[in-house]
């Protein structure tokens, strides 16, 4: 896996979880900025093992002549039962892009850690892996990997920027930011 984001924010762990993993105004705005459209969110639900799961559907905008303009995507998220409200959250997210070439060969796995640092601070860490369901021809595999890393890097760079903006807004005038 690759580490795409590793940063302390002046935002409580609780608030960070709510912003990223509920149907929040932050994530809706962020999706808007990224041209991720028609999102549908399903609520978190406990499964038999005690983990919580939810899925999201949306359409991503790609605008790469080689790949296409849009693709529908499904994101299956697991909130592990080891998570502790307000303290520590571990979320795995599998992203399937249904309409890109070779979509039946791969998916992306993102692992999010939100770790409370203090009452008002948390660390956000995101690891990403491109996973193969079946082995493509070498040239195709490097094509998939290359396109995935660059798209993912771009996404998390912008997520970090938007989180910094939100942090500034949240802490404005509180005096102890």
From 4, 26, 96, 155, residue interacting with ligand YK8 (rule: CB under 6 A): 155
Give the x-and-dash track for 100-119 against ligand YK8 (CB under 6 A). Answer: xxx-----x-x---------
- Considering the complex, state which of residue 76 and residue 171 has its C-beta at the smaller distance from ligand YK8: 76
Torsion of CA 83, 85, 87, 92, to 10 degrees: 40
78 DSSP β-pair partners:
53, 92
3-class state of residue 141 by DSSP: helix
Residues 6+ apart with CB under 8 A from 9: 16, 121, 122, 123, 124, 163, 164, 167
From 27, 91, 144, 163, residue interacting with ligand YK8 (rule: CB under 6 A): 144
Torsion of CA 143, 94, 105, 74, to 10 degrees: -100
Stretch in the footprint of ligand YK8 (CB under 6 A) among 45-53, 99-107, 117-125, 160-168: 99-107
Closest residue to ligand YK8, judged by C-beta, is 151
For the chain, the residue count is 177
* Distance set, CA 161 to CA 19, 25, 100 (Å): 14, 16, 27
Structural tokens at position 1: 């896996």
Structural tokens at position 47: 């499964």
From 12, 83, 116, 147, residue interacting with ligand YK8 (rule: CB under 6 A): 147
Residue 20 found at the interface with ligand YK8 (CB under 6 A): no
- Considering the complex, state which of residue 12 and residue 93 has its C-beta at the smaller distance from ligand YK8: 93
Binding residues with ligand YK8: total (CB under 6 A) = 19
Least separation in angstroms between residue 78's CB and ligand YK8 is: 14
- Considering the complex, state which of residue 19 and residue 60 has its C-beta at the smaller distance from ligand YK8: 60
- Considering the complex, state which of residue 5 and residue 144 has its C-beta at the smaller distance from ligand YK8: 144
**Closest by Cα among 1, 161, 11, 163 to 86:** 11
Interacting residues with ligand YK8 (CB under 6 A) = 60, 62, 67, 73, 75, 95, 97, 100-102, 108, 110, 143-144, 147-148, 151-152, 155
């Amino acid at each position: 896996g690759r580490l795409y984001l590793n940063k302390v924010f002046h935002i409580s762990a609780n608030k960070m979880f709510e912003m990223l993993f509920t149907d929040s105004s932050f994530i809706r705005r962020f999706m808007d900025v990224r041209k991720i459209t028609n999102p549908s969110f399903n609520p978190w639900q406990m499964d038999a093992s005690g983990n919580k799961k939810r899925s999201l559907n949306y359409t991503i905008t790609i605008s790469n002549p080689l790949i296409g303009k849009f693709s529908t995507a499904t994101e299956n998220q697991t909130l592990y039962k080891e998570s502790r409200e307000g303290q520590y959250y571990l979320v795995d997210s599998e992203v399937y892009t249904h309409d890109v070439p070779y979509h039946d060969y791969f998916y992306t796995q993102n692992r999010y850690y939100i770790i409370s640092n203090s009452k008002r601070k948390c660390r956000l860490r995101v690891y990403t892996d491109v996973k193969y369901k079946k082995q493509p021809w070498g040239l195709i595999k490097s094509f998939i990997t290359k396109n995935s890393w660059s798209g993912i890097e771009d996404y998390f760079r912008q997520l970090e920027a938007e989180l910094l903006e939100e942090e500034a807004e949240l802490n404005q005038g509180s005096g102890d930011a």
